[in-house]
Structure 1
Amino acid sequence: MADMLKSTGAMAGATLASRVLGMVREICYARFMGDGLVAGAFVLAFMIPNLFRRLLGEGALMAAFIPVFKEQEKTAGEQAMWRTANALMSGLIVVLAGVVGVGLLGITAALEWGEWNEKTTLMLELLRWVFPYLFFICLAAVAMGILNARG
């Protein structure tokens, strides 16, 4: 019982610290970026990589993979389980590299050939800078899911 209370307290403390640090982040963001053109363009540009993170790293992919991962551990052993994880990560690296490459080419083409207003042009420029983040954050989210499945 004492261990459960200790674990619950640790989780509550970590959650509280996360919320407070998130509020500090938002205060700093508002202080330095304001609510003008640059802030709006940055928020829009950052939404796209975060959408992929939610879909791939925290969404359907992990919901489908974790049961297979755990089942491999039970039925075929630890080596087979890690081979399955390796296959997923290897495939994901190839797919994400392709998505990022095509996305960057598309963004560059849109900037070169499109007639955009100032906010859209700024958003596309920022998106070109933050789009490679998609590759790393999706891999990190999948690795986190694998580690959480292992306990």
Structure 2
Amino acid sequence: MFSSRAALTAAVLTLAAGLTACTPVADIEAAPDAGNPDCAEVMVALPSELAGQEQRKTDSQASSAWGNPSKIILRCGVPVPGPTTDACATVNGVDWILREDDTTWTATTYGREPAVEVIFDPEEVSSSTLLVQLENSVARIEPTRSCVSSSDLELPAQ
């Protein structure tokens, strides 16, 4: 009985290894500060499934991709954004600067160093689902600043 169970386990592991080998490694350029130790904290906490997409292996440090082809790309250690007039959304306590291009959106953490960047196609991936599911990982980097709106500012009387 034991040997047949061990053989079955070995067969399942071999099959699983073969199936993951079918998914090509995602080619992603590493962020400038990818070697930051805080990025390692983020990376080990990333979900294996994100917005309905399975995680893939990548060829660079502090990066991840989901979907085949990649629907979501994450890089930790991107340049930390300074004050901006770009849209900023707070999702479960994490501030994200949102930038829209023709076909993709880029969400970059605001007020956390190192910064985390997520690139995705909003036609294929829900931004609200994506950013909610990343909260547990990204929140491992302590915030030092937060988004403010013009209504939060005190303007001098004229």
* Structure 1 length-normalised TM: 0.29
Q: Which has the higher contact order (CA 8 A, sep 6+)?
A: 1
